[in-house]
Structure 1
Amino acid sequence: MDLTLHDVRLPTAPAERVDIGVDDGRIVRIGTGLARGERALDCGGRLVLPGFCESHIHLDKACILDRVTMRGGLSEAIAEVAGLKAGFTGADVTERASRTLRKCVLNGTTRMRTHVEVDPVIGLRGFEGVKAAIADWRWAIDVSICVFPQEGLLNNPGTDELMVAALKAGADTVGAAPYTDTDPHGQIDRVFEMAREFDVDIDMHLDFGSDISDLDIEYVARRTEEFGWGGRVAVGHVTKLALLDRGRFTALARRLADVGVAVTVLPATDLFLSHRGHTHDHDAPRGVTPAHLLLAEGVNCSLSTNNVLNPFTPFGDGSLIRIANLYANICQVGARGAMADCLDMVSARSARLMNLDDYGLAPGNPADLVVIDAIDPALAVAEIAQPMFGFKHGVPTFTRELPQLHSPA
């Protein structure tokens, strides 16, 4: 065998210690007592994952913190980026996207969906710049593109044609941001039509804010059922759900589970942007939807980064395990099983949301492997365990040495 990992734990069975054998870029055996391969790594009982799976990030507008003033909330962030986009070049986008991909790879991410915006101002420059970065980093990470209209679709002439062009040019998911459109439901309808025309999945930005009298997610659930797109629709943010009473929340969760709509929660962005107009500083809502409660009702959920070093989120090191830990803190998740679910929401559940049928630690799947410095999924989240070694198709992608103490003799 080309590669063997010895004495590892799988996240689905952390009490057991096994070996993993890799040949020709794929997992061929998982068991005990494997003969040492051409390259062999002794892992000391640590966890191995099929890499972290980033289901919602914006590579095209990452790493622009030095260009903005950080004026405040969601509308201000959209306006700041809108003012910069005219100056984005393909090379600029490629460089910033590559810088972000490097962070993600070094933190153990092997699969990703990036949202890329198109409109008459940016045209396809952002799309082409991100495609170039994806090609440059294909040796370490697989990245797919969700094209979407950040500043409106029906109210922004020319955007529809650009989204169609991007779908023809390789985008494999279509997105939406209906809260920026004069006709939110009309935008949702048009996105479903595009999805059917190109036979692609849907991933929408949805339901920011504090007005829970009208939820676009209810309309999305209806259209998902009508179009027969169950299992192929995801919605991101949905921060309004954090304000629902338990009865309405549970009913909506069951509806989403029934029709097959998945949810991505972006804790860093949602916490940073939400409820800035709240007048009672002593009791401001967190604005982060409790994904673990959606899981309990059968909704598939992921946790993801969203933005890195820009006015939507002026933080970010590309670490999904840090995002899982942040979510657990915000939503007061402390039980071991629930913390392990947080690890699932940055790995296996994210892959399911993206309909990746070759993700996972199983013979025949690509040998995308990340060893993390933990022996238990819950403790990996609790301690923000460090990724130590990464492999893509069985080939090394990174090594992160553990810190060393220099104690006195």
Structure 2
Amino acid sequence: MLSESKKFRFAEDEEVTKKLFEEGDTDGDGLLTYEEALKAFSKYQRPFSREVFENYDTNHDGKLSQEEPETHSFRIINKYHFCGVFQFSNVVSLSHKQLRSISFFILAWQLLICDIMSVLVQFLLVIPQTFAGYSLYSHTFSYAIGSLDTLSYNGALMFALLLTINRLCIFLFPAIDQRVFGRPIIYGVVSLAWTLLFVFFIGLNATRCYKTFSVQGFYLHYENCENNSSSIGVIFQGIKDKWGRFSTYVMLGIYTLITIWLKFANRLHIKMNKTDGKQVRTNKKEIMFFVQSFIICITFLLESLMFDSIPRFKVYGQWRYAVNFTSNCITIFMFTVHSVVIFTFNSRIKEQLKEIFASKGKYYFASVTQTYPLQTTIVVRK
């Protein structure tokens, strides 16, 4: 995953980078300290910070050479997002008409929308700059695209939590399920959730807490969040820091409760041999939806634990890229797991997908036979 070396590059033009390095290297030792780099960049009025310096200083020796180790892992793993886009589009288009009346799929569609926004961030911001090796966009554009990741991540957590509460109500509180998650009330619940998300999204950006992509470290991160000490800024940044952890732990608790209920209470209060066939099929279907919801939501728990635990370990040099690679794998898995789960567990969607490919094949052969009459004759004889 690691290449031998990476050409030191702060600017689009390699000659400009070389000139910056040579003018900053005042002692002629072939190395650039932070003070030397800051002085050189200030002369050319180019933005520079301690974070940029540390991201390039992969050896963690406090100095930069003209060649530093780099990783290609993030470039490789991001290619899987192309497959994810096709999965999302297939699931959304196939399930819209057939499954729009089921609360599970109504909430799952919202998750897919959030996933698509996350993939767009990868396509527009992450992948181009990862391959280029330097920043391609202005700070304003990077902040605008990066903020979509804030909306998509928190939106995915929101709808995953609603999906979990929906499973809880179905098994333990069916009357509440009909009132809150039945049609058309569920559309109001979804609209309220999106409203809260946009309020949080606008409020966080109003405090100048922006998300952007680190070209050197290969990760998305927030900037300027610590500079706002106003009461509103503290509130929104507190939500940002604690919402992911809170929602994932709540989901874990709910699924633990549902599992206990299915294992013990169901045996005590529901005797399957006295239940009619229709009820048995309904219970099996809801349990299958429960399994899907659990797989979808457990990825958020893994990601939350990852972001909480990894910063506690001090890693330097090339090991930092190994940590980033692991983080990216888990994050991208979270992006694609929703569509994969829905596709895997639902035979109706798989059958419709087969029909689409079959119909495309029929259309293709029909167009060929119209173009080449000789082939039509052969087909008729057969």
Between Structure 1 and Structure 2, the one with more helix by share is: 2
What TM-score do the two structures reach when normalised by structure 1?
Answer: 0.21
What TM-score do the two structures reach when normalised by structure 2?
Answer: 0.22
Between Structure 1 and Structure 2, the one with more strand by share is: 1
